[in-house]
């Protein structure tokens, strides 16, 4: 492992002698110089246009090449649901840019939020953007929230003899998770699935024991579609902590839920689609707002994401979106970074990394069970990255494209 | 070597006086340093305990102010709805610990007796090493083993079988999920077994050989020697072993969270999922919502602390009240 320079200033050893602000400006010059190499001569830092940037090109231009950067280790923590995606893209980025090493701890969205609030990590990640009160509790100033992937929550089950997707709607799912439907041959399930032979087998519902993004999304879907669910949990505000913890069993993280489903016949639970794909689960086709039953796939999750035309950290809900081919339980994952980066070298490395993740990194999304970000979301993410500043308030990037 | 011996030796030496003076000086300095170290150590220990108590107390005060003392026995733990009560968690914590001890203590004592009194030396050595290894396994590994290996076995074989046992079925009724109070107890039993065996074994080893020989000379059988001579003499050591095991079982968090099913509801049987104080702390601790949620999780820690102290104190009291009559009967060999 490469040594991590604590002072973190970029460039030649001579930089050590310079005051931080000067080093920062020189770093900015260096970035501009690299950008100049690919045709841009502008050193200004004006905000870029918000439309019309192609998703395929890398938005920071050649600036994402870190071969001249001094070695940086970026530590992150957060959502468990994004782990299969992050694991792959961080590895590939490191292969291309060995000077940036990323360690990601998939301990859960709540950990991502807490860790960034306390400044113990370079970046956090949460399946749900931070709320106003959470942002206010951040110790390092303004937190930038960058949408980095688009995923779906699969309803996976393990029922002997049922090898195809069964159809489930909101009220039936609510019944399964609030304990009013307890057997697989229940009339409510049978009515939705004529022609499917359902066994006389007890339902073992499994939910997340820790607070989670997938739990929040499914809670939101059930609140939207099943009045009985709202009555059962006594609120119409979705919660990251699973609200019906006294029914079925709780397991930790996607991994725990997936493990339980794979080894227990009669089980049904919810996991991030990436985990369902890894485990080869059979997933339910869930009734969407157009009335059709849709199973999670890259296309059906992408269809949900495409409806997020006005996506922002305060308007992030893509559950139960319109369209007959839309999977109803989808969500964006948000990377959390401080706008003011006390360490310029780290800040530049972070910006380059995530600009690569939202562009080239998306090519891996489909094979891992995620959908590529829609182009308007890529633009939003890119513009958010451009807001990164040094400790003195100087922008770290110009629009290098 | 006694001081006299030192000075005697020094007196015979030409440079004895100098050396003696040096020795005395050095030892005085050493005494002072050691004394300072002792006080510093004791002070530091006290400060850490005090800091812990003050920290837990102040951080959990918001929860107790919000829910009142009823927090300790109120039954609903549902952070999603803002309902915080530790009652069911306390119940399940006591239940898992009790079942674990019922399973573990006889096996642990039996193994210790076997190792100390009955096993041939070639077997006792390797067996003790194995048990030492078991003690060194981190709890998360035991938890993983419970999750990956025991859970399917319990869900598909053990729990359905127990539920079908005629007279005991009611103890194990309900859906066979796998993760359950029973499975958590089994995992706790496995985790506490090595401590129990090694501590009781050294307690048995400390019983003078003469006691055993005297019992044998009086015509006692092997069992009577163990029952009447070894057990009473090793009583304090064995009870210390049980106390330690109970303390670990009460507080174990990660491994329990992996195998108990995390259901904060009144258990209808031993095979229903449950939730302990430790497992609830593990699951909720990362929840970012500052204020009452975080404070309630810390309050669970406070309840766990109180519970551990109470159970230990209760155990000690039980031991003291029982020791009089025990000593009385122990004297008479049948």
Q: How far apart are CA A393 and CA A340, in angstroms?
A: 7
Chain A CB contacts of B148 under 8 Å are 259, 263
Q: How far apart are CA A347 and CA A48, in angstroms?
A: 19
Question: A209 vs B147: CB contact, 8 Å cut-off?
Answer: no
- Provide the token pair at A263: 């080894």
ipTM surpassing 0.90: no
Backbone torsions φ then ψ of A76, nearest 5 degrees: -135, 160
Torsional class of A180: left (φ above 0), alpha (ψ -120 to 50), beta (otherwise): alpha
Q: How far apart are CA B189 and CA B240, in angstroms?
A: 16
Paired with A101 in beta bridges are A73
- Provide the token pair at B292: 């009452």
Residues (pLDDT < 70) of chain B are: 1-27, 287-290, 322-334
Chain B CB contacts of A111 under 8 Å are 286
Cβ contacts of residue B89 below 8 Å, gap of 6+? Answer: B77, B264, B275, B276, B277, B280, B300, B303
Which residue carries 């380059």 as its tokens? A352
Among B182, B185, B189, smallest CA distance to B269 is for B182
Which residue carries 């649901």 as its tokens? A81
Q: Identify the pLDDT of residue B15.
A: 62
Among B150, B137, B154, smallest CA distance to B192 is for B137
Per the document, the length of chain A is 401
End-to-end CA distance of chain A: 32
Chain B CB contacts of A202 under 8 Å are 175
Q: How far apart are CA B79 and CA A390, in angstroms?
A: 39
Q: How many CB atoms lie within 10 A of CB A245?
A: 25
Contact A178, A244 (CB under 8 A): yes
Cβ contacts of residue A376 below 8 Å, gap of 6+? Answer: A308, A309, A311
Q: Which among B152, B263, B288 is the nearest to A250, CB-wise?
A: B263
Q: Is B264 on the interface with A (CB under 8 A)?
A: yes
**Strand, coil or helix: what is B120?**
coil
Q: Is B148 on the interface with A (CB under 8 A)?
A: yes
Q: Identify the pLDDT of residue A109.
A: 86
Residue pLDDT, tens place only, B128-156: 899 988 888 999 999 999 999 999 999 98
Q: Identify the pLDDT of residue A67.
A: 61
Interface test with B, best of A137, A143, A184, A264 (most B CBs within 10 A): A264
Q: How far apart are CA A365 and CA A199, in angstroms?
A: 36
Reduced 3-state DSSP string for chain A = CCCCCCCCCCCCHHHHHCCHHHHHHHHHHHHHHHHHHCCCCCCCCCCCCCCCCCCCCCCCHHHHCCCCCCCEEEEEEECCCCHHHHHHHHHHHHHHCCCEEEEEECCCHHHHHHHHHHCCCCEEEECCCCCHHHHHCCCCCCEEEEEEEEEEEEEEEECCCCCCCCEECHHHHHHHHHCCCCECCCHHHHHHCCCCCCCCCECEEEEECCCCHHHHHHHHHHHHHCHHHHHHHCCCCCCCCCCCCCCCEEECHHHHHHHHHHHCCCEEEEEEHHHHHHHCCEECEEECCCCCEECCCHHHHHHHHHCCCCCECCECCEECCCCCCCCCEEEEEEEEEECEECCHHHHHHHHHHHHHHCCHHHHHCHHHCCECCCHHHHHHHHHHHCCCEECCCCECCCCCC
Q: Is B268 on the interface with A (CB under 8 A)?
A: no
- Provide the token pair at A21: 């602000």
Contact B201, B216 (CB under 8 A): no
Q: How far is CA A108 from CA A78, A79, A214, A253, B296, in A?
A: 5, 4, 11, 7, 20
Residues (pLDDT < 50) of chain A are: 1-57, 400-401
- Its pTM stands at 0.81
Q: How far apart are CA B106 and CA B99, in angstroms?
A: 12
- Long-range (24+ apart) CB contacts under 8 A made by B322-328 are B323/B235, B326/B232, B326/B235, B327/B232
Q: How many CB atoms lie within 10 A of CB B314?
A: 11
- Provide the token pair at B33: 């340093």
Question: B80 vs A245: CB contact, 8 Å cut-off?
Answer: yes
Question: A245 vs B177: CB contact, 8 Å cut-off?
Answer: no
Contact A159, A199 (CB under 8 A): yes
């Amino acid at each position: 492992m490469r040594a991590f320079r604590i002072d973190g200033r970029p460039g030649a050893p001579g930089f050590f002698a310079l005051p931080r602000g000067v080093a920062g400006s020189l770093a900015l010059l260096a970035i501009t110089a690299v950008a100049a190499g690919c045709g841009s001569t502008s050193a200004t830092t004006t905000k870029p246009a918000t439309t019309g940037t192609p998703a395929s090109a890398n938005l920071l231009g050649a600036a994402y090449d870190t071969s001249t950067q001094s070695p940086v280790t970026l530590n992150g923590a957060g959502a468990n649901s994004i782990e299969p995606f992050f694991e792959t893209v961080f590895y590939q980025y490191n292969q291309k840019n060995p000077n940036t090493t990323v360690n990601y701890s998939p301990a859960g969205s709540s950990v991502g939020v807490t860790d960034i609030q306390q400044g113990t990590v370079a970046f956090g990640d949460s399946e749900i953007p931070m709320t106003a009160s959470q942002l206010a509790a951040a110790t390092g100033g303004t937190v930038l929230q960058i949408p980095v992937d688009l995923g779906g929550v699969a309803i996976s089950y393990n029922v002997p003899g049922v090898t195809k997707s069964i159809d489930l709607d909101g009220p039936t799912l609510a019944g399964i998770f609030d304990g009013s439907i307890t057997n697989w041959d229940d009339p409510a399930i049978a009515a939705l699935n004529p022609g499917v032979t359902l066994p006389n087998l007890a339902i073992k519902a499994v939910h997340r024991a820790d607070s989670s993004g997938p739990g929040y999304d499914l809670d939101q879907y059930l609140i939207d579609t099943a009045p009985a669910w709202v009555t059962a949990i006594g609120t119409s505000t979705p919660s990251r902590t699973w609200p019906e913890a006294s029914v079925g069993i709780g397991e930790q993280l996607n991994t725990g839920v997936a493990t339980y489903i794979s080894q227990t016949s009669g089980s049904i639970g919810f996991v991030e689609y990436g985990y369902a794909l890894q485990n080869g689960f059979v997933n339910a086709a869930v009734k969407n707002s157009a009335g059709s039953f849709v199973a999670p796939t890259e296309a059906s999750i992408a269809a949900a994401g495409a409806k997020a035309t006005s996506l922002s950290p305060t308007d992030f809900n893509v559950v139960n979106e319109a369209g007959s081919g839309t999977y109803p339980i989808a969500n964006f994952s948000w990377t959390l970074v401080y706008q003011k980066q006390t360490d310029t070298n780290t800040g530049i490395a972070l910006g380059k990394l995530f600009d690569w993740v939202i562009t080239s990194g998306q090519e891996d999304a489909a094979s891992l069970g995620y959908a590529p970000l829609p182009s308007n979301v890529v633009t939003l993410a890119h513009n958010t990255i451009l807001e990164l500043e040094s400790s003195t308030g100087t922008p770290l990037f110009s629009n290098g494209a | 070597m006694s001081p006299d011996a030192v000075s005697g030796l020094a007196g015979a030496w030409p440079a004895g006086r100098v050396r003696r003076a040096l020795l005395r000086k050095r030892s005085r300095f050493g005494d002072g340093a050691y004394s300072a170290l002792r006080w510093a150590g004791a002070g530091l220990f006290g400060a850490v305990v005090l800091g812990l108590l003050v920290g837990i107390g102040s951080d959990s005060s918001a929860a107790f102010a919000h829910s009142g003392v009823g927090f300790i026995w109120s039954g609903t733990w549902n952070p999603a709805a803002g309902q915080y009560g530790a009652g069911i968690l306390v119940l399940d914590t006591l239940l898992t610990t009790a079942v674990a001890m019922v399973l573990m203590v006889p096996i642990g004592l039996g193994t210790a007796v076997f190792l100390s009194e009955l096993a041939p030396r070639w077997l006792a050595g390797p067996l003790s090493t194995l048990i030492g290894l078991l003690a060194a396994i981190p709890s998360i590994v035991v938890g993983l083993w419970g999750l990956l290996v025991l859970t399917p076995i319990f869900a598909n074989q053990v729990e359905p079988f127990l539920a079908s046992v005629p007279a005991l079925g009611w103890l194990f009724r309900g859906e066979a999920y796998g993760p359950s109070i029973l499975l958590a107890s089994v995992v706790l039993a496995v985790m506490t077994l090595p401590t129990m065996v090694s501590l009781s074994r050294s307690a048995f080893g400390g019983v003078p050989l003469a006691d055993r020989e005297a019992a044998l000379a009086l015509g006692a059988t092997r069992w009577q020697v163990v029952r009447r001579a070894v057990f009473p003499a090793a009583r304090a050591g064995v009870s210390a072993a049980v106390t330690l095991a109970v303390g670990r079982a009460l507080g174990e968090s990660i491994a329990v969270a992996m195998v108990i099913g995390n259901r904060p509801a009144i258990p209808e049987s031993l095979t229903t999922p449950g939730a302990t104080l430790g497992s609830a702390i593990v699951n909720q601790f990362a929840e970012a919502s500052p204020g009452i949620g975080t404070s309630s999780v810390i309050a669970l820690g406070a309840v766990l602390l109180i519970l551990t102290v109470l159970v230990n104190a209760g155990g000690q009291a039980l031991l003291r009240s029982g020791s009089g009559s025990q000593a009385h009967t122990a004297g008479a060999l049948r």
